[in-house]
Amino acid sequence: MKAHTHVYREETPVGELIFEMKGNKQGSAFRYTPAWMREGFAIDPHVPLREGWHHQWQSGDNQQAFLGAISDCIPDSWGRKLIAAQLGHQPNEFEALMSVNDATRIGALRFLNAQGVPSTHSTNTPQIQDLAEIQSLCQMIELGDKDAARALCGRGDSLGGARPKSDYIDQSETLYLAKYTTERDTLPITRMEVATLNLAEEVGLRAAKAQLALPHDPHPIALIERFDRAGASRIPYISAQSFIGAAGQYYSEIAEQLISTSTQSFIIEARELFERLLFTILVHNTDDHLKNHGLLYLDDHWVLSPLFDVNPQPERHPQLKTGISPSAGFEHLDHRARVLK
């Protein structure tokens, strides 16, 4: 199987993308347009502006079929579940990439044909009156209802993570991520996430704006404002995993990459990163993997995106998903202190 598409930043051509599948192996090649090389920026620190093709094949522990910045445009668990229901089979990487709703795709990259037409038709984004209905659909999906999953296609297929979620737009046309409570939850997950993000903002961190919908309902909904949008404009975004490379594991590697890509604001970004690490430890966030850290391209350099996906789990083993550094490891400092006592 071989497929081809064009990569855009909003309405501006960025490059060409070719996908190939040989047996169970999937891979791709990407090259910038000459105009983008003259006037644009590297969409990923590991995809420099140069002539010729950049290649990526699944191999060993790295199962990404696309370069990091492009791979970030593909949803994982939740979004793939909706796409699989729509297609009637588990999607390959190209199908997953091209099935996402163009209007709500993460970041600024778009995948259009030679005539500039989106890969998928935009679906109306849910509004406040739709949230209770979508919550019911999410609960049905968790019970294995494929019809419910198909009904939610285009309204949550751009989103990753394991928990039920959808897009949401308010009366001012601001785009949000809506996260839903499920019957299986033993803790008030959505309340905890909103409270923790608001606490992060109160102590001076850059955190995603968060609020509760249906706050008096037994199953409230967390609304997280999408920080990769500024009105109708899309802001370039990559995950920290793509920023430091697929083999990266540590906060220290994020700091090192910031030195080379964000020199004019490195001190500000490094301090923010350090304070986020302390906050993560203090609130016992155990879901701080590198896909739950991100960067935005603003003012011609990469900066940390607002903090998001912070989920306190004090009852779990106190171990970070992203290590502090090769010498400090992954365990929470308070756990190591107790061991030393």
pLDDT at position 145, please?
84
Question: What does DSSP assign to residue 65?
Answer: S
* Topology of domain 128-229, CATH: Phosphorylase Kinase; domain 1 (3.30.200)
Helices and strands (DSSP H and E) totals, the chain: 11, 14
pLDDT at position 336, please?
46
Per-residue pLDDT of the chain (341 residues; tens, 9 = 90+): 889 999 999 899 999 999 999 988 999 999 999 999 999 999 999 999 999 999 999 987 778 999 999 999 999 888 898 899 889 999 999 999 999 989 899 999 999 877 777 766 556 666 666 888 888 888 888 888 888 888 888 788 888 887 889 988 888 889 999 999 877 778 888 999 999 999 999 999 999 999 999 898 888 999 999 999 998 899 999 999 999 998 899 999 999 999 888 667 889 999 999 999 999 999 999 889 999 999 999 999 999 999 999 988 877 667 899 999 998 888 765 554 443 33
- pTM of the predicted structure, to 2 decimals: 0.91
CB 179 within 8 A of CB 221: yes
Provide the residue ranges of all domains of the chain, joining segments of one domain with +. 2-112, 128-229, 236-340
CA–CA separation, 273 and 293 (whole Å): 10
pLDDT at position 123, please?
60
pLDDT at position 111, please?
94
pLDDT at position 306, please?
98
* Neighbour tally for 43: CB within 10 Å: 27
Q: Residues 262-299, buried b or exposed e (16+ Cβ, 10 A)?
A: beebbeebbebbebbbebbbebbbbbbebbbbbbbbee
Pairing of strands 301-304, 294-298: antiparallel
CB 222 within 8 A of CB 166: no
Residues 6+ apart with CB under 8 A from 69: 43, 44, 47, 107, 109, 238, 242
Q: How far is CA 328 from CA 109, 228, 322, 332, 333, in A?
A: 36, 32, 11, 10, 9
pLDDT at position 341, please?
39
pLDDT at position 338, please?
46
Q: Can you spell out the DSSP letters for 300-327?
A: TEEEEPPB----B-TTS--B-SSBSBTT
pLDDT at position 93, please?
95
